[in-house]
């Protein structure tokens, strides 16, 4: 009986997937009348639509771009800037940051290796962070290396190195990154608390708003801040709204750093840490949440963004770099 039920479920899922792909195919034919779609776009177009339907229960509106999610998905298809590959790479982006705003805005890197087994733990300080350069989320904060479960850390790292992150989301740049594991300084304070994140959403090289996140490792909270440094009261989704934000003294310099790094891109989120007078660039993200933001304030947040769709780029080819 269980095998019959399982088989029935599999057949139903296949039928639903086939129907979804049929709908996507029909939409592709319709969208080609209004968008610069080619046959070379179709696989990514289908992936983007599958992901959006799975996460949001709807297809993206690429013609009108009603909200931030639509803008992000439009960007996946029509703004494939070759520089995005280097800037998506958590090691490659360091050269981009150093060239444009200076190496003083980078963390210290202790080691870069092909595999976890190559890390020389004896040469490392007591506290550090282990990351992979080819995905999002593989971040192992190590307050004390003597207490690190190396077997579990190796399992997490090697799994990340062996996979192509973002393939099911349409985040195409990750497939072109050479996987590495690296060890960098830990930015936590003496009590082990991580600094808050300032995530600057930029369009056309200008900050549209900043998502201020704090409470990493405990109870994360977020606040949406306007370019002048004022709390908008809007919640872009992802975390409960917070109340601890106050405009830092170096706010204008953070804006300057974010906009300098964003100048070459239609849409990018620049993640920054502010530690005293020090401004550290964490990463650059071109498709935040893979274009699956949720929350009641998403329409208001989206209206803050002036997104340019007047020019397009062709699908990326590795030889373009």
Confidence of residue 202 (pLDDT cuts 50, 70, 90): very high
Q: What are phi and psi of 11, to 5 degrees?
A: -65, -40
Kindly tell me if the per-residue pLDDT of 216 is higher than 80: no
**Where do we find the tokens 């997104």?**
307
In this structure, how many other beta carbons lie within 10 angstroms of the beta carbon of residue 220?
15
Q: How far apart are CA 219 and CA 214, in angstroms?
A: 8
The CA distances from residue 282 to 28, 168, 274, 314, in Å, are 36, 24, 10, 29
166 and 300 part of one domain: no
Q: Are residues 76 and 222 in the same domain?
A: yes
The interaxial angle of helices 68-78 and 42-56, nearest 10 deg, is: 160
Q: What is the predicted pLDDT for the residue at 317?
A: 84
Domain-terminating residue out of 186, 217, 244: 186
User: Which CATH number covers residue 312?
Assistant: 3.30.470
| Same domain for 79 and 59 | no
Chosen domain end from 155, 186, 217: 186
Q: How far apart are CA 246 and CA 231, in angstroms?
A: 8
Structure tokens at 22: 């049929």
Range of the domain at 23: 2-64
Q: What share of the chain is helix, strand, coil (3-state, %, to 5)?
A: 40, 20, 40
Specify whether 199 is located in the same domain as 231. Answer: yes
Band of residue 194 on the pLDDT scale cut at 50, 70, 90 = confident
Residue 169 has pLDDT above 90, yes or no: yes
> 114 and 73: one domain?
no
Instruction: Tell whether 171 and 198 lie within a shared domain.
Output: no
Biggest CA pair distance of the chain: 67
Query: Does residue 308 share a domain with residue 198?
Result: yes
Q: Could you tell me if 133 and 280 lie in one domain?
A: no
DSSP category for residue 108? P
Residue that finishes a domain, picked among 64, 95, 116: 64
Q: Judge if 174 and 199 occupy the same domain.
A: no
My answer on whether 98 and 161 are in the same domain is no
> Is 168 found in the same domain as 262?
no
Q: What is the CA radius of gyration of the chain?
A: 21
Token pair in block for residue 117: 């087994």
Task: State if pTM tops 0.95.
Answer: no
What does 49-100 look like in DSSP terms, one character per residue? HHHHHHHHSS---TTT--SHHHHHHHHHHH---THHHHHHSTTHHHHHHHHH
Residue 56: pLDDT above 80? yes
Number of domains in the chain: 3
Whole-angstrom Cα distance, residue 133 to residue 130? 10
Residues 306 and 281 grouped into a single domain: yes
Whether 48 contacts 60, CB under 8 Å: yes
Please report the pLDDT score of residue 277 as a whole number: 87
Q: What residues does 206 pair with on adjacent strands?
A: 203
- Point out the least confidently predicted range of 54-68, 70-84, 190-204, 268-282: 190-204
Instruction: Give all strands of the β-sheet with 128-132 in edge-to-edge order.
Output: 109-113, 181-184, 128-132, 139-142
């Amino acid at each position: 009986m269980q095998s019959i039920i399982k088989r029935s479920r599999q057949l139903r899922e296949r039928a639903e997937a086939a129907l979804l792909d049929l709908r996507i195919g029909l939409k592709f034919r319709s969208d080609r009348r209004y968008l610069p779609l080619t046959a070379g776009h179709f696989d990514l177009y289908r992936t983007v639509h599958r992901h959006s339907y799975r996460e949001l229960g709807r297809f993206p509106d690429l013609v009108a771009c009603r909200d931030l999610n639509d803008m992000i998905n439009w960007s996946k298809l029509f703004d494939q800037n070759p520089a995005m590959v280097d800037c998506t790479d958590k090691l490659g982006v360091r050269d981009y940051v150093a060239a444009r705003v200076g190496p003083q805005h980078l963390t210290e890197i202790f080691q870069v290796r092909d595999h976890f087994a190559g890390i020389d733990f004896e040469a490392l300080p007591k506290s550090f962070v282990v990351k992979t350069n080819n995905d999002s989320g593989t971040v192992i904060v190590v307050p004390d290396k003597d207490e690190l479960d190396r077997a579990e850390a190796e399992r997490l790292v090697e799994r990340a190195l062996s996979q192509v992150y973002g393939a099911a989301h349409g985040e195409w740049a990750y497939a072109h990154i050479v996987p590495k594991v690296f060890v960098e300084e830990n930015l936590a304070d003496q009590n082990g608390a991580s600094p808050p994140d300032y995530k600057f959403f930029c369009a056309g090289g200008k900050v549209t708003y900043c998502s201020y996140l704090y409470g990493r490792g405990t109870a994360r909270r977020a606040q949406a801040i306007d370019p002048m440094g004022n709390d908008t009261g809007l919640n872009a989704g992802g975390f409960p709204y917070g109340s601890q934000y106050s405009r830092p003294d170096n706010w204008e310099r953070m804006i300057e750093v974010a906009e300098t790094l964003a100048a070459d891109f239609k849409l990018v989120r620049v993640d920054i840490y502010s530690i005293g007078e020090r401004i550290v660039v964490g990463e650059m993200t071109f498709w935040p949440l893979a274009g699956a933001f949720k929350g009641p304030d998403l329409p208001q947040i989206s209206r803050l963004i002036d997104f340019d769709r007047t020019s397009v780029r062709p699908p990326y080819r590795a030889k373009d770099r």
